[in-house]
Structure formats: C-alpha cells, structure tokens
Amino acid sequence: MAEFIPNPARGKEVYDLDRKYVFHSWSAQGQITPLPIAGGSGSYFWDFDGKKYLDFSCQLVFTNIGFQHPKVIDAIKKQADLLTTIAPQAANEARGEAASRIVGLASPNHEKVFFTNGGADGVENAIRMARIHTSRHKILSFYRSYHGNTTSAISATGDPRRWPNEFGYGHVHFFGPYLYRSAFWAKSEEEECQRALEHLESVIEFEGPKTIAAILIESVVGTAGVLIPPKGYLEGVRRLCDKYGILWIADEVMSGFGRTGKWFAYQHSTAHPDLIVFAKGVNSGYVPLGGVVISKEIAETFKDRVFPGGLTYSGHPLACAAAVATIDAMKAEKIVEAAAHIGEKVIGPALRGLASKHRVIGEVRGLGTFWALDLVTDRASREPLAPYGGSSPAMNELVGECKKLGLMPFTNFNRMHVVPPCNITEAEFNEGLAILDKAFAQIDKYYTGAK
C-alpha cells in the first residue's frame, strides 16, 4: 500500500474548494458533506486525516480491479507519452486494440464496438441503433432498474430518479423476476420465471409488437437490488424477442467485466443479446469510458446508412489504453475466475452466516463480487427497513457505523450491497465482514418481528 502522510489542513482546503465551487449530482447542495479523499491502493482508500477505508462499494461499483493497479497506471502513462488525444474520425491504436479485446469477450455474433464516455450515453446510443434498425420506437425495461441520466436512459430507468426527468418518449416499464418480493405470487424460482415471462409477453401484446424496438434489461439488476434472473429467464427473453422481431439490449454497465464471475453477466445463461452496453469495470473507472458492442446484423444496417450519432471523445486514447491494460491484467491474473471463486466459496457463505445472526437481513443474494442484503423489520411480513425511494434512521445508523469502523458501504433504500473489488483477498473480505457484523449489531434493535 502506498505510503501517505496525513495532512488535515490540505483536507480542509479540498473540502472548502468543493463546497464553494462544485455542484454535486443527485443532491440538495446544502445538505451534503463530501468526504475529501487523498489516495487509494487496492481495496482501500484514505482521507487526508489518514483514516483508511476498506471499499465495499467499489465507489459506484466500478473499481473492479481496485485502486491504482500498477499495470493500468503504467499503460496510461505510456499512452500519455505517445498520444494523449485524437479526434474520433481518425483511427488510433488504443481504440482498435480495446475494441478487438471487447468483441473477443462477447458472443460470436458480435462484431463492432461504438465507444462512448460512460454507461448512460452507451444506453442512449444502443436505443438509437435499435430504433433505426427495427424502424420501431418503443423501449421496454424493468421497473426495478437504472440505466443512466441522459434523456432516453433515465426514461428507461425504473427507479424514482426517473420521475422528475421523464422527457423521453416511447418508454414502457414491466416487472422483472424478483422472487423475494414477487409481483406474481410465485412460490419458487421456476414459477417466478414462468410468470414473469408470461407477464412480459402480455405487455408486448398489449403495447403492440410492431411498435417495440427493444427490450432493455440489466443482465443482473444492479442498483435496484442485485436481482439475479432465475434460470431460463434470459433464454425466455431471447425467445420472445425472436418471436416478435424485437432486439434485446443487455445493460452490462455494472454487471460486466468480472463483477458476477463472468466477463458479462448474461453469460450465466445460454442466450445472446443483440447489443451490449458496457462502462465502469471495462477499465475500472480509471479514465471515463463506455460503449456498445454491436451484432453483425445491426452493424450491417449502418454499412451504407449514416449512423446519426457521435461524441468528441469516442474511443479516447487514454481511456482505451486503460481498457486494454485492464482486460489484459484481468486475464493474466485470473481476476474473473477469482471473483467467481470468492463469491461462491467465501462471500456467499459468509453473508448467509451473517444473516443467521442478524434478523434484519431478510435475504442474501448475489454472484461473484456482486451481492445484496435485503433488510427488513420483520422476516414474516418482509417489511423493508426503509421505504421505497427513501431512507430511514436504521439505514442511516448502519451506514454511519460502517464508516466509523473503516468500511465504505453501498446502500440503496432498504438494501446494503456488498460489492468489493473483483480481486479482493479472503483476508480483506473477512476484515470487512467483521465490521459488518459490528454495524448490524447496532441496528438489530430495529427488528420488530418474532425473535
């Protein structure tokens, strides 16, 4: 770990600069106290007082290989010496190498990559491609979802951040599978899968199949709950798409690049999407990068037809060099395999053990290094520990206790997500688990159900 000498005075200067000049996302500006960060290494980061935090949030679930991986830092430095930037109409070495590697990780029917600056504009352009390719306009997506904060992406989003931002057109929402809080009165994964697919087909029929361009879904729903599709669900989505001439857009922004123990989360199924949106873990967030992996059939649509979209920094050399180095490092160090192993052998059993001690944990679910704890006041009623779209004293206390003990958590409504780096060690995870145990002990008092 990099050596750091505490400098509280500089920390105050950084905080004051932020509060005076920086406008923060998703926030009432006068009600936040952002933590000034001085540095990071591996699974940890620290503030200017020298306090170290074990990162169980991966920031916004993007530091898949942790902070300051030396191979990626070196690649960025070398690219900066060679070529810092170039307009997207030119070919550049880093972009071509990155595209080649990303296509190689996808399915045999994928051929090209359109690079964006992040996940939201990746979703935006995938929707544009789908509408032009099909000559249809509607986009179907889950109520429990998040796809980004640009016009079509936020309209496709299901969670409450959509409500003040609904300016896109042609967006229809439906319920995806979520057995723990089933919308279909299902009693098993098989029933949930069948009934969720029947529901989706009904929505398709009532909306008019010939008006629907694409079904856009996160392969594993991320911020809205780490909801893993039951066996057969993605295959069922593929069948419905084929039946009605609809495209399947797989949003892999959060679930891709090792997060679930596969390169892409849809690869836990046997089905293949038409378009794949990626970002975040493609280069661990070291330089902003996103994009769309495009099938041969859709790429052919634009062979002699102009694609009406572009970005100044599409395939930026520094970002693409970071992606090449990240993918190569993940392969060489078997980080995807490590995420699968630690998820199955360490994280899953440990979190289920934690649930046996703390009854506020109603359900544990996850894959790889992508887990969520569904928190409740009563296991019988499954009453959430915080309301949909909000927080609660219990959740605030849980977050505060974790931070006090040196763990950075990721929470959303009534859930705590456990999303450490894909290359976290067992010892590091167990350190975080001990902190979680102490933090949950502080909020066990909020459980009101039968003991």
Q: Are residues 204 and 217 in the same domain?
A: yes
| Pairing between β-strand 383-384 and β-strand 370-378 as defined by DSSP bridges | antiparallel
Q: CA–CA distance from 449 to each of 382, 383, 445 (Å)?
A: 9, 9, 11
- As a residue count, the chain comes to 451
Contacts of 70 (CB under 8 A, 6+ apart): none
**Mean pLDDT value across the chain:** 97
Over range 78-106, report the average pLDDT: 98
| Pairing between β-strand 171-174 and β-strand 138-142 as defined by DSSP bridges | parallel
Residue appearing with tokens 């998820």 = 343
Q: Are residues 328 and 338 in the same domain?
A: no
Q: Are residues 320 and 339 in the same domain?
A: no
- Percent of the chain at pLDDT > 70 equals 100
pTM, two decimal places: 0.97
**Does the pLDDT value for residue 4 go beyond 90?**
no
On whether residue 181 sits in a domain, the answer given is yes
pLDDT of residue 451: 75
Q: Are residues 134 and 277 in the same domain?
A: yes
Strand partners, 39: 46
Order across the sheet with 44-47: list the strands.
37-41, 44-47, 52-55, 407-408
**pLDDT tens column, 36-86:** 999 999 999 999 999 999 999 999 999 999 999 999 999 999 999 999 999
Q: Are residues 419 and 366 in the same domain?
A: yes
Write the CATH number for 223: 3.40.640.10
Q: Count other Cβ atoms within 10 Å, centred on residue 417.
A: 21
On whether residue 394 sits in a domain, the answer given is yes
Domain boundary among 332, 355, 390: 332
Q: Are residues 308 and 433 in the same domain?
A: no
On whether residue 3 sits in a domain, the answer given is no
Q: Are residues 208 and 305 in the same domain?
A: yes
Tokens representing residue 15 in the block: 């905080």
Tokens representing residue 213 in the block: 């361009």
Spatial contact of 247 and 134, defined as CB atoms under 8 Å apart: yes
Write the CATH number for 32: 3.90.1150.10
On whether residue 60 sits in a domain, the answer given is yes
On whether residue 388 sits in a domain, the answer given is yes
| Backbone phi, psi, residue 437, to 5° | -60, -45
Residue appearing with tokens 């980004």 = 148
- Percent of the chain at pLDDT > 90 equals 99
Domain boundary among 312, 332, 352: 332
Q: Are residues 365 and 266 in the same domain?
A: no
On whether residue 95 sits in a domain, the answer given is yes
The domain in which residue 394 lies consists of 8-68+334-446
Count of domains forming the chain: 2
| Pairing between β-strand 415-418 and β-strand 370-378 as defined by DSSP bridges | antiparallel
On whether residue 2 sits in a domain, the answer given is no
* Cα separation, 55 vs 258, whole angstroms: 17
Contacts of 445 (CB under 8 A, 6+ apart): none
Q: Are residues 308 and 345 in the same domain?
A: no
Domain boundary among 303, 332, 361: 332
Q: Are residues 411 and 428 in the same domain?
A: yes
**pLDDT tens column, 165-219:** 999 999 999 999 999 999 999 999 999 999 999 999 999 999 999 999 999 999 9
Q: Are residues 20 and 75 in the same domain?
A: no
Q: Are residues 49 and 136 in the same domain?
A: no
On whether residue 1 sits in a domain, the answer given is no
| Backbone phi, psi, residue 295, to 5° | -70, 160
